[in-house]
Amino acid sequence: MGYYARDDFFNNPEILARSVEILKGKLTLDWMTCGREDANCRPSHPRRGLTFGDTNVGRYGWDQIPEKIRHNYSMAPRGAVLSPGLPHLGYDINRKSEVWSENAPDLYEESKARHWIPSREVPWEAVEKLDHSPDFERAMAQLYTDLTSMATVLGDIPSKWVWRINQELVELKMWQCTQMFDAAQLADVFRKRAIAGGTGLGRDHAPLGELMKAVFDASTYPCASASGYLLLCGLMQSLMRHMGAVSTNKADETIARFGVQDVTRSIAYGIGHMRYLIATRPHEATAIANHLDEVENSAVGLLGAPIFISSLALITAGNRAGAAAAVPRVMALYRRFANEHAARRRAAGLASEHSPIEAFVRSLEA
């Protein structure tokens, strides 16, 4: 046991006496008049149900959260009456701009509404009757193996930070729980797809691990958010789109469709978060842009890794014999990814003239 409360409630005779009094019928009912405030929220749109947006009212709403949270370090829900003696739960992320994005409550609602089930909604029967070559399947399995590792790290980011975030930011914490869940779902479906194809999972490789470590080891949440949601999710989005487009298998198309919708939500959060942070604390932009440049360097390592680029070339060509001729199409894929990534950086307020990804793609095109 790591925590012993100052007051030993268990052996406190006053507490026992109070409980006994209540069970004898002597209620004070003082909690009924403790300073509560009626809310009476109702769905603004009956078909959509009662959304978080409908409950953003008065002292209960997120508009009331101060930039620096000083008044509550406990798990008391925002807007509840805070009694003296509430403990400090150890939160060390207590600034709204550190984590907040104005779209987080809506993204949370959307995520629940778009839930899907990998075991049943992917047409696995299509994987049982593959109509492509074993080499094509091995390359797909290799990329699904890479995607499994990426999804694992994507889930580890919120897991690493959410329990450290002040409870006043509850909608944001809930959104991070959906991110953990979405990432788990993706890790599950990618791994199942690699195994179900018959060739089994592919290889773990150092350039992928380097990128995963660079993303995971971010020393602040904003850095983790920028590298995880702008860069890693952007890369996953490009990969899934491409894999869904080149495969004629219905299962791959379905996985790409669901997967892209999930990671796109995290990209939207990442951009929203960076915008909110930089609008509140503009000086943070330089450090985060530098961090993103550094993680991009690791991403370049992956984009240039022989196993990665040859897998992409093979699935793009459809077979091993035509893979060499497909390299320009892989470069075109990299160009699209670099352009989209640069656009996201600009939208987030993190544009860089030293982007390693842009430099790498230019060198490919030279």
Partner 1 sequence: MSYYGTNDFSYNSDFNLRIRDIKKGNLDFGWLDRAREEVKVRRADPRRGLTLEDCEVGVNAIDNTPEVVRENRGVAPRGAILLEGAEQPDLGPSLNKKSDVWAYRVQSYWEEAMSRQWNATTDVPWGDMDKYEIPEDIEVAFCQLCTLLSEVEMIATDLPAKWSHHMNSYFQDVKNFIATQAIDEARHAEVFRKRALAGAGLLRASVRGEHALKGILEADSYSEGSVFLHVLGEGFILTLFRSSEYISPTPVEQRMFQLVMQDEARHVSYGLQHLKYLMDNCPEVRPQINGFLDEAERHLSGLFNPDQLESMIVLGGKGTTPDCIRTGIQTVGAFQGKQIEEYFHRAERAGLPERRTRSPLLELQKRMIAGIMG
Residues 313-342 binding partner 1 (CB under 8 A) are 313-314, 320, 323-325, 327, 331
Any contact of residue 22 with partner 1 (CB under 8 A)? yes
138/344 with CB nearer partner 1: 138
Query: Which residue from 133, 135, 332, 351 is in contact with partner 1, where contact means CB under 8 A?
Result: 135
Specify whether the CB–CB gap between 202 and 146 falls below 8 A: yes
Query: In 3D, which of 287, 156, 161 has the Cα closest to residue 213?
Result: 156
Query: Which residue from 97, 275, 280, 294 is in contact with partner 1, where contact means CB under 8 A?
Result: 294
Any contact of residue 139 with partner 1 (CB under 8 A)? yes
- Phi then psi dihedrals of residue 95, to 5 deg: -110, 130
Query: In 3D, which of 172, 291, 274, 300 has the Cα closest to residue 223?
Result: 291
- What is the spatial distance between Cα 151 and Cα 146, in angstroms, rounded to a whole number? 9
Query: Which residue from 84, 92, 131, 283 is in contact with partner 1, where contact means CB under 8 A?
Result: 84
- What is the spatial distance between Cα 63 and Cα 160, in angstroms, rounded to a whole number? 26
Residues 213-232 that bind partner 1 (CB under 8 A): 213-214, 216-219, 223
Distance set, CA 315 to CA 46, 140, 198, 309, 321 (Å): 46, 7, 17, 10, 11
38/283 with CB nearer partner 1: 38
Site string for partner 1, 274-293 (x = CB under 8 A): ----------------xx--
9/279 with CB nearer partner 1: 9
Tokens in use for 217?
A: 């080891």
Specify whether the CB–CB gap between 349 and 285 falls below 8 A: yes
Site string for partner 1, 140-169 (x = CB under 8 A): --x--x--xx--xx-xx-xxx-xx---x--
209/318 with CB nearer partner 1: 209
Any contact of residue 260 with partner 1 (CB under 8 A)? no
Size of the site for partner 1 (CB under 8 A): 150
Any contact of residue 71 with partner 1 (CB under 8 A)? no
- What is the spatial distance between Cα 267 and Cα 182, in angstroms, rounded to a whole number? 13
Tokens in use for 59?
A: 């002292």
